[in-house]
A = this chain, B = another copy of it.
Amino acid sequence: MNKILFMHGGGPTAVINASLYGAIKQAKESNYFDEILAAKCGTGGLLKEDFINLTNIKEGKLELLPFTPGSAIGTGRDHLEEEDYRTMCSICVKHGITHVAMNGGNGTMEATYRFSQMGKKYGLKVCGIPKTMDNDLSSTDHSPGFGSAGRYLAGSVKEAAQDVLGLPIHVVVIEAFGRDAGWITASSVLAREKKGDAPHMILIPEVPFKEEDFLKRVKELYDEKGGVIVVASEGLRYEDGTPIVEPIFKVGRSVYFGDVSSHLAQLITKKLGIKARSEKPGILGRASIKWVSKTDRAEAIECGKKTVEALIEGQTGLMSQITRLSSVPYKVEIGLVEITASVIKAKGMDKSFYTDNYDITQEFIDYASPLIGEDLGSYTTFMEK
């Protein structure tokens, strides 16, 4: 009797369900498993023995999965103690679960590693499927979820840029996900077709925020263009590491910060007397199926499949990952890597991708372009000289 269990950890992405789809398909087609289960809302569900049986899931429901945002089996942010891993193993044994695939980012991959280690004593195989729109998993060239988050931001900035071009009366600050890593924020550069196009300033969390310099540049751009688009990471910090917005509230381990975009817009309005407004699409940007990158979706499906394949082969403690073979034409290989400390380590954006002038290098564009999928298309304007 083989039983496979799927679990999701951390925030959803636009393609976490696509990976689940790939994993379920692979599990079904292999005919290796007698039952296919999911733990509702991640490890918390497993600890409560709250399972969803996916063995006879209807084809129609399954086929909607890659086009459904959020996590269809739920996900969670539960913190696990050593004891919990033992309990999870016992529960798996009790329910006859022999294989586990965990989908998530750095935290979840650490849990996958620890679960796989503990699982060895119980004959349990545990492997991981990478997922983080923040793109901060090391080892893999990029993570499923990032391409779609990048596409959402670049596409939305490109649309908003037309609004500002036609009504050039203000500075618009758009807040991007990625509190510790600038990957998503930087992707906004892909909105640009030619020099001078929005985004006009890009602020990543890896580079300390310098208020005076920031305001000086905003003023220059406003004087030149009248309409300016600034894209800023939610996690901007000063040189000394303190966030530019105060923590508003703490609940358990979570700290609630104010909005960086609103803070910057107020700064511009108050200090420069220039009209400014802020936009913060927030979770709309990780839940957008409209803006899914088809490349991202296809890779997410493949990662899901690869991990199940590895489990069937008897592997444990591995994560599927994406290795880039070439950028032009874009070619990748979906492989496997042993989960070690260096895989789990958060990968901030390389500062060499960033220029002094609030901009992003061509090198980054070459890296990220293929990930956000098909061309964003072009708009028209009759206002150019």
Please give the residue numbers on chain A whose beta carbons come within 8 Å of chain B beta carbons, in ascending order: 8, 11-12, 38, 40-41, 52, 54, 57, 61, 64-65, 67-77, 155-156, 159-169, 172, 174, 248-249, 251, 254, 256, 258-259, 262, 266, 269-270, 273, 275, 277-284, 286-291, 377-383
**Residues in B whose Cβ lies below 8 Å from that of A57:** 382
> How near does chain B come to A212, taking the closest CB pair, in angstroms?
20
Distance between Cα atoms of A262 and B256 in the complex (Å): 11
Smallest CB-CB separation from A73: which chain B residue? B382
Contacts of A162 in B (CB 8 A): 12, 68-70, 287
Q: Can you list the 8 inter-chain pairs with the closest CB atoms, starting with the nearest?
A: A70-B162, A71-B166, A279-B282, A70-B166, A64-B380, A68-B379, A163-B287, A159-B287
Q: Are A160 and B280 in contact (CB under 8 A)?
A: no
Structural contact, A259 and B287, CB atoms closer than 8 A: no
Query: In the complex, which residues of chain B have a beta carbon less than 8 angstroms from the beta carbon of A249?
Result: 266, 269-270
Interfacial chain B residues near A262, Cβ < 8 Å:
258-259, 262
Closest to A259 in B: B262
Most chain B beta-carbon contacts within 10 A, residue among A41, A70, A76 = A70
Rounded to whole angstroms, the CA-CA distance of A2 and B254 in the bound complex is 66
**A163 and B177 alpha carbons, distance in the complex (Å):** 15
CB pair B290–A166 under 8 Å, yes or no, is no
Task: Assess the A169–B65 pair: CB atoms within 8 A.
Answer: no
Question: What is the chain B residue whose CB lies nearest that of A290?
Answer: B290
Give the nearest-CB partner of A261 in chain B. B280
- Shortest Cβ distance from residue A152 to the other chain B in the assembled complex, whole angstroms: 10
Q: Output the nearest chain B residue to A16 by Cβ-Cβ distance.
A: B166
A67–B88 Cα distance when bound, in Å, is 52
In the complex the two chains form, what is the Cα distance from A249 to B73 in whole Å?
45
Which one, B166, B256, B269, B277, contacts A74 given CB within 8 A? B166
A172 to chain B, nearest CB (A): 6
Q: Is the CB of B380 within 8 A of A61?
A: yes
A163's partner among B69, B163, B377 (CB-CB below 8 A) is B69
Residue on B with the closest CB to A279?
Answer: B282
Distance (Å) between the CB of A133 and the closest chain B CB? 12
Contact present for B278 and A281 (CB under 8 Å): no
Using Cβ atoms and an 8 Å threshold, which residues of chain B touch A155?
Answer: 290
Tell me which of B11, B280, B382 contacts A72 (CB under 8 A). Answer: B382
Residues of B within 8 A of A380 (CB): 61, 64-65, 68, 72
* Residue of B whose beta carbon sits closest to that of A249: B269
Nearest opposing residue in chain B for A275, CB measure: B251
Contact of A277 among B72, B283, B379, B382 (CB under 8 A): B283
Contact of A275 among B164, B254, B269, B287 (CB under 8 A): B254
Contact A74–B279 (Cβ < 8 Å): no
Q: Which residues of B contact A164 (CB under 8 A)?
A: 70, 283
Give the distance in Å from the alpha carbon of A196 to the alpha carbon of B163 in the complex: 35
Which residue on B lies nearest to A274, using beta carbons?
B251
B287 engages A160 (CB within 8 Å):
yes
- CB A111 to nearest CB in B, in angstroms, measures 16
Contact of B71 with A167 in the complex, beta carbons under 8 Å: yes
- Given known contacts A68-B162, A262-B259, A383-B72, is B277 in contact with A282 (CB within 8 Å)? yes
- Other than the known A259-B259, A277-B283, what 5 A-B pairs have Cβ atoms closer than 8 Å? A64-B380, A70-B163, A259-B278, A278-B280, A279-B281
